[in-house]
Amino acid sequence: MSKPVIRVLVVDDHPIVRRGLSTEINLDPGMQVVGEAQDGQEAVTMAAQLKPDVILMDLVMPEKDGIQASAEIIENNPEACILILTSFTEEEKVYAAVKAGASGYIFKDKRPDELLQAIRDVHQGIPLLNTAMTRRLIRELRDQKPAVPEPTVHLTEREMEILQQVAQGAPYKEIARDMGIREATVRAHVSSILSKLNLSNRAQLMLYAIQQKL
């Protein structure tokens, strides 16, 4: 039985860049570009219509930038996986996008095979954050601790088990195999955990679990 194809939405305001990204992604038999958006507003609309598995999002765009678009997409669909495509000079924007719900980021100078692997990783629920950004997010989460609920108060035993595996960086497929359940069931549990803890995505959930020493 063949693996499901990862459906990707490419968002960039440069036509040549969009075409190049789409070409590379479509060359991978496990992926398919289902749409191309030229700005943040179009990205929000197409994400709602197409419901892609992964959204490859540029940060600096007219009309609506990648930060605003990411926040709107996550608000409409907390399960959305957004991979930020960025340059080295946009650290503050990347940080804002991750806080808004993006699952991680990759630099524009990476090789095509590294980009494809990054798409696979975020689709599997693996956050793509460097050490410095992880520490910064954990520090901010720690400072906000009084407003964050304790997980043991709200989570079931099964949800706590999954949360602990998420904290170790395990992908959804591995968690499903270890627990003897379907990958879709794992995703449903993670969605429930995010809702209960008022967090946006798995990246924030992983940071929360670390901060709580789980």
Q: Write out the H or E segment, with its range, that includes residue 188.
A: helix 183-197
Instruction: Tell me the C-alpha distance between 32 and 111, whole Å.
Output: 18
128 domain residue, yes or no:
no
Residues 29 and 64 in one domain: yes
Q: Which domain holds residue 14?
A: 6-123
Residues 155 and 84 in one domain: no
CA 64 to chain CA mean position, Å? 19
Q: Any idea what the Cα angle at residue 36 is, between residues 35 and 41, rounded to 5°?
A: 110
Residues of the chain with pLDDT under 50: 1, 145-149, 151-152
Residues 50 and 99 in one domain: yes
What's the structural domain count of the chain? 2
Residues 162 and 81 in one domain: no
Instruction: Tell me the C-alpha distance between 75 and 80, whole Å.
Output: 9
Put the strands of the sheet holding 31-37 in their side by side order: 31-37, 6-11, 54-58, 82-86, 104-107
1 domain residue, yes or no:
no
Q: What is the pLDDT of residue 72?
A: 92
End-to-end Cα separation, the chain, in angstroms: 36
Q: Model confidence over 192-211: pLDDT tens digits?
A: 888 788 776 676 777 777 66
Instruction: Tell me the C-alpha distance between 122 and 118, whole Å.
Output: 6
Residues 79 and 155 in one domain: no
Residues 52 and 23 in one domain: yes
Residues 163 and 202 in one domain: yes
Instruction: Tell me the C-alpha distance between 144 and 139, whole Å.
Output: 9
Residues 117 and 146 in one domain: no
Q: What is the pLDDT of residue 41?
A: 93
Q: What is the pLDDT of residue 139?
A: 65
User: What CATH number should be reported for the domain holding residue 69?
Assistant: 3.40.50.2300
